[in-house]
Structures are given as C-alpha cells and as structure tokens.
Amino acid sequence: MKKYRLMTPGPTPVPESSLLTLARQVTHHRTAEFRALHQEVLEGLQEVLQTKNDILLIGASGTGGMEAAVMNLIRPGSKMLVLASGKFAERWATLGDRFGAEVVSYELPWGEPFEADEVARILDEDPAIEAVYGTLCETSTGVGHDVEAIGRVVQERDRLWVVDGISGAGLMECRTDDWGIDILVVGSQKALMTPPGLAIVTVSPRAWKKIETVDQRGFYLDLLAYRKALKTFDSPYTPPRSLIAALAESVRLLREAGIETVWDNGRRLARATRAGLERIGFRMAARRPADALTTAYVPDGVDAKRLLDRLETRFGLKLAGGQGPLSGKVIRIAHMGQIDQLDIVSALAAIELVLVEQGHSVQLGTAVAAAEAVFAEGEESD
Amino acid sequence: MKKYRLMTPGPTPVPESSLLTLARQVTHHRTAEFRALHQEVLEGLQEVLQTKNDILLIGASGTGGMEAAVMNLIRPGSKMLVLASGKFAERWATLGDRFGAEVVSYELPWGEPFEADEVARILDEDPAIEAVYGTLCETSTGVGHDVEAIGRVVQERDRLWVVDGISGAGLMECRTDDWGIDILVVGSQKALMTPPGLAIVTVSPRAWKKIETVDQRGFYLDLLAYRKALKTFDSPYTPPRSLIAALAESVRLLREAGIETVWDNGRRLARATRAGLERIGFRMAARRPADALTTAYVPDGVDAKRLLDRLETRFGLKLAGGQGPLSGKVIRIAHMGQIDQLDIVSALAAIELVLVEQGHSVQLGTAVAAAEAVFAEGEESD
C-alpha cells in the first residue's frame, strides 16, 4: 500500500494524462496525423523554451543531444570554452576531447557560479575560441548559472553560446532567444514531465551556419538530417512516436498553466525548500541555487545515505544523493515535474521524522513551518 | 467508429499488456528494481534471439544501432563488405562511407537474395575485408536472406558477420549464435512488439575484441560504455525506462508462446498471404520471400497508391507502399507484431473489396480462400 513519491532531478513524475497517452495503440509516423502532432509539439516547445529557433526531437537521452551539440558544431582542432563546475558541465569537456576539439576550461570548485566578466576576459584573450559551453542548472550541485549575463558577453564577442538545459529548462526561466542561446539541449524526463528517451535540441540560424561547415557530423545525431526532415514535420529515422505524443500532452499542460506561472511556482518551491532545510541545519551546496532542484549538505553527524534509504523505505520518498566529490555529503530534491507545495511540505516532514527517528535533535514541524511561511507569503499577492 | 488496423512493417501493433505498462508512473533507474527488470529483459532477449552474447539496449531508433555497429567496429580505411540489394542494406554502405571505411559492395538488383558462394569468393579474393554487413529481412523488398549459409562462409574465413535484423528478428528464425552473427541489430518497434525508441544490439566476444581496438567510437553510441554499465545491469546514460518495461512485457509474451512457435506462425502467415495475393494477380517482389513481411507487385492496371489510400479510408487498414525503385509499384504487408490468421484473412478481403470497388475484375473470396487453405492445412498436424 506504500505510495511512491518521486522527487529526483530526473526522471520526474509524469502527469496522468501524458501517461495515458502512452497506453494508446501505436500508429504509423509517415502520416499527416504524425506531422500535425509533431508541428503542435514544436510550436508548444517554442513557447515553453521562448524561442523562434528550429527545434529538433531526437530519440536519445539528453547525453545524445549534448553529443550532437558538440559533434555538429566543432571541427577537430577547433577551440571551445567549457564552463566546468560540476559533473554534467564536465561532460562538455569529455565530449570535446572525444571529438578532437581543443578544450579550454574555466573551472570553478563545485557549487560556484560562473562570472560573466571572467567569461568575457577569457574570450577577449583568446579570439580562437569559437563556442562557449555552459549549463543552465548544474544537476550535481544545484547551481543555477547566469545564462543571461554570460550569453550577453558571448554574443557581443560573436561566439556561439551552447547551453545544457537538460535539468531545468521548462521549469526555470530560460529565454532562449533573448539570452542569445544558439543551441539549447533539453531532456524529456525533467521539467518537461515526459518519460526518458527524447532529447530536444534548439538551433539558432547562427549555429546552423556553423554546422553547415562541419564535415563529420556522424549519422544518427547529424542535425542537418533532422533539419531537412523538419521542413515537412517529418523525422529522418523512425521517431519514438509514443514519447512524442506524451511530450505533446505535457507541453500542452505547461502552456495551459502559462510558462511564466510555471517559472514563478518553481522559484517559490525552491525558496521554500531552502528555507525549510536551512531551519533544521542543512547547508546549501550552491552559492547561486537553481529553481529546478535543491542540493543541500546534511547537518553534521547525519549520514546522508542512511537518511535517503530510510526516506525511501518508510515513506516511499525517492530523493537523490550526491555525485563525485559530493557523494555521501548531500541530498538532492527536485522541484521539476508535477511537484506542488504540499509535496515539498511532505518531503520536509519526512526528513524531520526520519532525522528524529535516527536520533538527531530536530524540532518537529520547524522545517515545514519555514516552507509554509514562504508559501503563505506568496499567496498574499495572489 | 472506424477501427485502425496497423499492418505496416514497423511500427507494429503493441499488445495491450505492454501498452498498459507504459501508462504506469515513471520510476528511477538507478535502483535495484530497474536492474532486475533490465536483467529479465536481457535474459528474455537471449532466448528470443537465440544467443548467449551480450545484449545492449540503446535509446535510439534502429538506425542508431546500425551506426553503432559500423562506428565501433570499423576504423577509417578498413574494408567492409556490404551485401546491397534494397534500401536498408544500402544504409550500411552510407554508414561505412560516413566513417571513412573502404566499402566493397556485393550488389544485386532489388528483390534478389545473396548467394553464400559468391560471398565466399569475394572474401577469398580480398583478405583485407574485415567484416561483412548484411540483412536478415530487407524491409523494402521483402527478401529473407540466407543469413545462416552466409554466416558459415564468413565465419570459416574468420571475418565478422554483422546483420541488420531490425525488421524480422523476433518473428523470423534467427539463430544468432548458431549462424555466427557477431553483431545483430534489432529495433523495438517491429517483431518485438514495442513502441519505437529502442535499439537492441547483440555483440559476440570476437566482435568485442575488435571493438576494443577502435579508437573513435563516438560517445552516446560507444558500445564499450554500455558493456561497462552492463556488469551491474545499469545503463551508461538515462535509459528509456518506460520503453524497456514495455519491451520486457512483450518479450515475456514471446517466451510464453515459445520462440519456435512464433517462427512457425510467422512462416504460415507469410505463406498464406503470398498464396492469397498470387491468386488475385499480385506478383512477389522477392525471390526468397521473408516471413516478416510480404512485398508484392500490384496486378497490371492497378494503381498501388490508390489501392492503399482506399484501404485506409474504407477499412482503417494501414499497409505500406514501395520505396525507391519500387515506389508506386508494390504493397507491403507485415506479419510482425500481434498479427494473427484472421488479420491476414481480413486484409485479403479488404484488398478484394477495394479492387472490385475500383473496377478491377476479381473473384470475391478467392484470395481469402487461398489463405484459409494454408491455415487449414497447418491445423491438421496440430
């Protein structure tokens, strides 16, 4: 009878109406019906991601989208700047190495946000850098980077701005066009509330121009093949039709709610989670915390793994632990997917109860009260 | 109120219990539960595909699996032999070119089956050929190639045997290990009765040895990353969890039926379809027809496109047309997925009715009777 409560930073809970879409019988994809669905989901995504750029749907995990954003844009020997401060940002560097790029790193300790001024300085010093690879929300540390300010300095210097928005875009404010993002990569299984299996890649006209000059673009991840098929809302290879239908439904829900409302909600959930956790001795891992998830160091004396295990066995509450240097030191709570205020309250209550059960001194209800205060304050203006 | 009857060679109808699996809430994949599911589906696939080799599940279309089978195995400049006689076989050559392989082609007109003796002759003449790329069932022409006999000559000469089994493996007899198949690529959306989005790749120890010597294996399609994760039944990147659960259910159904029974059924469905179509003037496009689908030239004077369109508008029956040189000349009927004897009878009746409606002289019921005769004969021994 135990409930399952998924609050990991991907996959996230999928709305019922999207799940039911998946249970429908499979239909063929070389049809007017599929093309209409494809067109609808792309128009919806343009609104959700705030872009007029082309959007490509690739049957792959987010990593496949990241690989496409490197392989299609960077010729062997070309210089790329990677903003590296966490597990997923480091993947950009790994990909650059794999494809023979010359990788320049602006590295910071995990948890630190990048400064646009420093990016500007690096670009001014090295005119050979063709593209800057960054992250909207670093899922390992919970940092929300200043994609807007960095985008401005990248664009002013006429380089390309590539952003991993896998964990965040769709819940966190992300104005793709206004912020000068040339390629944005998103995964279906995060803020877009769809099962894993789809990478979403937006490409600006500037980025297309560059891609056209790159010889080796692979085959399955060759973005030009997707662009060609897009003209008739087709897919170059058999698309994951069922997942696209589920994505269409989830995007419909996001549009109904209004994307700015979704961003506001995410902001409030994140603020309440931080307030609650800090009240009972947790410390934020991120100096500029993201809205998509909260990464927090457990209080002194608390065993993070034991806490997470018990949250799952006692309450079916699935949070995530730390990765890399944060392994065993933090917990991660996502605010993406169909997560609301009471889910946050419940999660904080569960943490209080398990900490007390495991012998730590916690005043029951205090984390919950701190979160509720944020939610109550939010309502005053509604 | 019109029914939809999907009989295209991919996607194919998905059984209800597999569809319902997809409607379940998404759960996390870094869990014991996912690893148990992963292990179960791999064991099931080993039985269905008759192999003890490693099986890798990649979130991609079948094309992604084909790219992996070229990029991971063939170094630039290496020689590969492609058995080319249809749209999908030609994809092997395209992939080889894309990755800098030296592609040698054994080319035949569309619809012709390859001769093992000729493969042997080509390999004997050119010891530099490292691998042979072929097709179990060529979906464009409906030819079932003699993968067993060709595999024997390839193995005797110590080359690698790579087979595109995307449209067929799981319905057509395919004894991966006995037939010496080093890499077999299968798609989820064909005989495995699962929505599109998963490529299944089997890899022999001989193929692994070769893959270990290849430097550039990409990233998302790097098979060594999948092998490493497989040790703990994990996936290197976020796997398409829901699709894997649906695949597990469909594989369970195939095992319950018994894979040899499934092969026998497929054989009978294909034989009955051919008997029915030939009775009303269709002509087979394949000299060695596959069990997975039937590709047939329409009778003289019949407009294939008009026939297919009317089958869909009048009966909701979705068949496929021709590709490349067969465009506008043939119809293609699949026997894969949850297709049974009465589906074949219905499809033949629909074809009879539409041909008569469109002014062609067809004796109503004759194609149906020819198919029924095959089914009746089959039952005698049951």
Q: At residue B332, does pLDDT exceed 50?
A: yes
Q: Which of A79-88, B248-257, B263-272, B297-306 has the lowest mean pLDDT?
A: A79-88
Question: Which chain A residue is nearest to residue B59, measuring alpha carbons?
Answer: A60
Query: What global pTM score does this model have?
Result: 0.96
For residues B318 and B331, what is the distance between their CA atoms, to the nearest angstrom? Answer: 11
Question: Which chain A residue is nearest to residue B217, measuring alpha carbons?
Answer: A98
pLDDT in tens, chain A (382 residues): 788 999 999 899 999 999 999 999 999 999 999 999 999 999 999 999 999 999 999 999 999 999 999 999 999 999 999 999 888 888 999 999 999 999 999 999 999 999 999 999 999 999 999 999 999 999 999 999 999 999 999 999 999 999 999 999 999 999 999 999 999 999 999 999 999 999 999 999 999 999 999 998 999 999 999 999 999 999 999 999 999 999 999 999 999 999 999 999 999 999 999 999 999 999 999 999 999 999 999 999 999 999 999 999 999 999 999 999 999 999 999 999 899 999 999 999 999 999 999 999 999 999 999 999 999 985 655 4
What pLDDT sits at residue B145? 97
Residues of chain A neighbouring B23 (CB-CB closer than 8 A): 19-20, 22-23
Residues of chain B neighbouring A67 (CB-CB closer than 8 A): 218-220
Residues of chain A neighbouring B87 (CB-CB closer than 8 A): none
- For B170-181, how does the pLDDT look when each residue is reduced to its tens digit (9 = 90+)? 999 999 999 999
Beta carbons of B237 and A62 less than 8 Å apart: yes
Q: Which residue has the tokens 């850098």?
A: A129
What pLDDT sits at residue B318? 96
Beta carbons of B61 and A239 less than 8 Å apart: yes
What pLDDT sits at residue B382? 46
Percent of chain B with pLDDT over 70: 99
Q: Which two tokens stand for residue A78?
A: 């070309």
Residues B211, B216, B218, B224, CA torsion sign: positive
- Helix B87-98 and helix B62-71: axis angle, to 10°? 40
Residue type, B283: R
What pLDDT sits at residue B163? 98
Question: Which chain B residue is nearest to residue A194, measuring alpha carbons?
Answer: B26
Q: Which two tokens stand for residue A179?
A: 């912020």
Query: How many CB pairs below 8 A link A and B?
Result: 166
Beta carbons of A29 and B62 less than 8 Å apart: no
Nearest to A59 among B29, B60, B238 (CB): B60
What pLDDT sits at residue B381? 52
Question: Which chain B residue is nearest to residue A221, measuring alpha carbons?
Answer: B64
Mean pLDDT of B18-33: 94
Nearest to A11 among B26, B60, B216 (CB): B26
* Confidence class for position B89, pLDDT limits 50, 70, 90: confident
For residues A136 and A310, what is the distance between their CA atoms, to the nearest angstrom? Answer: 31
Q: At residue B211, does pLDDT exceed 80?
A: yes
Nearest to B11 among A22, A26, A221 (CB): A26
One-letter-per-residue 3-state SS of chain B: CCCCEECCCCCCCCCHHHHHHHCCCCCCCCCHHHHHHHHHHHHHHHHHCCCCCEEEEEECCHHHHHHHHHHCCCCCCCEEEEEECCHHHHHHHHHHHHCCCEEEEEECCCCCCCCHHHHHHHHHHCCCEEEEEEECEECCCCEECCHHHHHHHHHHCCCEEEEECCCCECCECCCCCCCCCCEEEEECCCCCCCCCCEEEEEECHHHHHHHCCCCCCCCCCCHHHHHHHHCCCCCCCCCCHHHHHHHHHHHHHHHHHCHHHHHHHHHHHHHHHHHHHHHCCCEECCCCECCCEEEEECCCCCCHHHHHHHHHHHHCEECEECCHHHCCCEEEEECCCCCCHHHHHHHHHHHHHHHHHCCCCCCCCHHHHHHHHHHHHHHHCC
Beta carbons of B23 and A28 less than 8 Å apart: no
Residues of chain A neighbouring B140 (CB-CB closer than 8 A): none
For residues A31 and A121, what is the distance between their CA atoms, to the nearest angstrom? Answer: 51
Q: Which residue has the tokens 């979403």?
A: A200
Beta carbons of A240 and B20 less than 8 Å apart: no
Percent of chain B with pLDDT over 90: 95
- For B102-140, how does the pLDDT look when each residue is reduced to its tens digit (9 = 90+)? 999 999 999 999 999 999 999 999 999 999 999 999 999
Beta carbons of B63 and A238 less than 8 Å apart: yes
Beta carbons of B238 and A61 less than 8 Å apart: yes
Residues of chain B neighbouring A321 (CB-CB closer than 8 A): none
CA angle in degrees (0–180, nearest 5) for B84-B86-B92: 50
Q: Which residue has the tokens 């000349």?
A: B329
Name residues whose C-beta falls within 8 Å of residue B22's C-beta, 6 or more positions apart in sequence.
A19, A22, A23, A195, A242, B195, B242, B243, B245, B246
